[in-house]
Amino acid sequence: MSAKIISGKEIAAAMREELAVEIESLKVKDIIPGLGVLLVGEDPASRSYVSAKEKACEKLGIHSREETLPPTASIEEILEKVNDFNHDDRIHGILVQLPLPESSMENEVLNTILPEKDVDGFHPVSVGKMMLGLETFLPCTPHGILHMLKRSGIETKGAHAVVLGRSNIVGRPMLNLLSQKSDFGNATVTVCHTGTKNVEEFTKQADIIIAATGWPNTVTADMVKEGVVIIDVGVNRVEDPEAAKGYKLVGDVDYPNLLEKASAITPVPGGVGPMTITMLLYNTVEAAKRIKGIC
């Protein structure tokens, strides 16, 4: 058996075409979705992510506005920028690129974003509504994974899904969303983490594995059953003397050896990554519609 490759790149492209049509229909009503982006510091990865998001906005016709601050910026300066976005009628969604130079700032900064503009889905109001199954903005990576599963024809109802990792960005939201009574959920979900003993006992039972650990080769072929579906969230740099940059990007699973055992698997790169940005765009369009009262 050779696994079906779940291409996040292809699914994201299809969703962006759908968004482009919707954005054009909004423009007829004089509504241009707008995204405000705040970047604090000079982290190269964050800079790269922000640039990719802004290019995607430009291509779809979403208005974007970037504000940057030095890594020495005070909490007051950061909150001032966030509040500026809060009061800007052209901005419907706000993205504060994480991590911030000081992690202790993050809760206060994220809590300052108006919930109706919280397109990352990190505000406590958004998280609470998600937990209750109410309409809200869902975190982009978990939301993207749900669309990947659905558009790939993978049934979650009645499946045993094992989530590796318990972060607030991926692991915990996945637990909640997959277990909800919905078209995207109805699964039985187990969460494994650094405190879990004998992880392979759980992964061998899994119909679906979502790996978000941040470590390469967390899941190997001997840890899974035949026909498992694997969603690899990880992006790790490993040394590769043959690569031009001296390294290559790999996920959290042993992709080459799982190809012959899994029924479906996401690649890295080209898997979950493109979906995360696409869902940010999706949420921004939804935010504009909700603020304007048309959905």
Which residue of the set 120, 207, 252, 254 is catalytic?
A: 120
How many whole angstroms separate alpha carbon 137 and alpha carbon 144?
Answer: 12
Q: Which is it for strands 188-192 and 93-96: parallel, antiparallel or unpaired?
A: unpaired
Element (H, E) at 164: strand 160-164
Element (H, E) at 211: strand 208-211
Query: Is 97 in the active site?
Result: yes
Q: What one-character DSSP code corresponds to residue 293?
A: T
Burial of 87 (0-12, 13-18, 19+ CB in 10 A): exposed
Q: Which is it for strands 247-250 and 236-239: parallel, antiparallel or unpaired?
A: antiparallel
Q: Which tokens is 135 given? A: 């309409």
How far apart, in Å, do the first and last CA atoms of the chain sit?
Answer: 44
Q: What are phi and psi of 127, to 5 degrees?
A: -65, -45
Query: Is 53 in the active site?
Result: yes
In the block, residue with structure tokens 């958004």: 126
193 and 148 Cβ atoms separated by less than 8 Å: no
Alpha carbon 292 to its chain's center: 25
Helix axes 272-291, 140-151, angle to 10 degrees: 110
How many whole angstroms separate alpha carbon 76 and alpha carbon 106?
Answer: 13
Query: Is 120 in the active site?
Result: yes
Which residue of the set 97, 117, 254, 261 is catalytic?
A: 97
Please, which residues have CB within 8 angstroms of residue 239's CB and are 6 or more apart in sequence? 246, 247
Catalytic positions are 53, 97, 120
